[in-house]
Amino acid sequence: MTAPFIVVTRRPPGRAVEILAEAGQVWVWPEDRAIDRDLLLDRARDADALYTMLTERVDEELLDAAPGLRVVSNMAVGVDNIDREACARRGIRVGHTPDVLTDTTADMAWALLLAVSRRIVEGVDHVRSGRWRRWEPKLLWGVDASRTTLGIVGLGRIGAAVARRGSAFGMEVVYTSRRPKPALEEALGLRRVDLGRLLETSDHVVLTAALTPETHHLIDRAALEAMRPTATLVNVGRGPLVDTDALVTALSERWIFGAGLDVTDPEPLPADHPLVALSNCVIVPHLGSSTRRTREAMAELAARNVVAALAGEPMPAEVPTTGGS
Ligand code: GLV
Ligand code: GLV
């Protein structure tokens, strides 16, 4: 029997490639950018395993090109880039990287929430541009985080970690989720509400939901209209949870106080996009899990998912065929 062939779409950090090499012959796209689609389709032909980034679309076309494929391992917790049903129909297992990035991503949500609320980027611009001439009693007033109401949309692992941070800031925390989470409600004093109620009552709305057909444009024009004029919106989930055009209007016309975005639609966001010019919008380029410790842990977990799947063993983090938070 020949060794399994493992296709890696981008050089992963840490020990991932060494771990993969225990399980088969590894081919890594050598360049410092996303792999060309045609080359990926070609390499997939002989692949037993695909180790992917969230930039790769794993769809029927790619799966059709890969008759021997047994596992797709995404170096991300979100798997909206993967057609899970198509994988399930073919008996292809799907892995992802939960848990190892939870706190790091919740920290990013918190950084954005505070940056928008306290106008950190505008303050930095003020200093850098030489406009800081004197102390002013009303300079760059923000909104409070402490002792306000935090609304978490999609209470999964990351949402729960954001809730913990909220509790530490003396916030009242409400959430939406497809299923109630009684243990978390009990442990953290959370309250489950519907989305309408969450939007009306929250001072800060944090999106951590997975992107699915049901959550696409969950935050649309009507949702933004329902929010308080002093509220902030933070998105660390996926860009298309929010209708970008509606958000541009909401921020320009000050329907809400501001937004902090780790993810956008489109992504990457061009520098001349109207969102970028808005002083009440803080955008970072999808950095939620981007620390050395976390990205290395994700890369290694994704590698161990491949090794286990190729051995026919339980994967450390297999995406269930149905369900989610
Ligand atoms: C990043 O966005 C991830 O899903 O891990
Ligand atoms: C998402 O899957 C999460 O971990 O919250």
Q: Which residues are catalytic?
A: 238, 267, 286
Helical segments of 27-101, H only: 37-44, 60-64, 84-89
Atom of ligand 1 nearest to the CA of 263: 2
Q: Looking at the predicted structure, is the pLDDT value of residue 321 above 80? A: no
Q: What is the residue with the minimal CA distance to atom 1 of ligand 1? A: 76
Residue burial 58-90, b: 16+ Cβ < 10 Å; e: rest: beeebbeebeebbbbbbbbbbbbbbbbebbeee
Q: Is the CB of 206 under 6 A from ligand 2?
A: no
Of 20, 36, 38, 62, the C-alpha closest to 305 is 20
Stated as kind and residue range, the H or E segment containing 158 is: helix 157-168
Report how far ligand 2's centroid is from the alpha carbon of 139 (Å).
38
Residues 121-176 have pLDDT tens digits of: 999 999 999 999 999 999 999 999 999 999 999 999 999 999 999 999 999 999 99
Which 3-state string (H, E, C) describes 224-281?
HHHCCCCCEEEECCCHHHECHHHHHHHHHCCCCCEEEECCCCCCCCCCCCCCCCCCCE
The domains of the chain, with CATH numbers, are: 5-98+292-310 (3.40.50.720), 102-283 (3.40.50.720)
Q: Looking at the predicted structure, is the pLDDT value of residue 251 above 60? A: yes
pTM of the predicted structure, to 2 decimals: 0.95
| Mean confidence (pLDDT) of the chain | 97
Going across the sheet that includes 5-8, the strands are 25-28, 5-8, 49-52, 71-74, 93-95
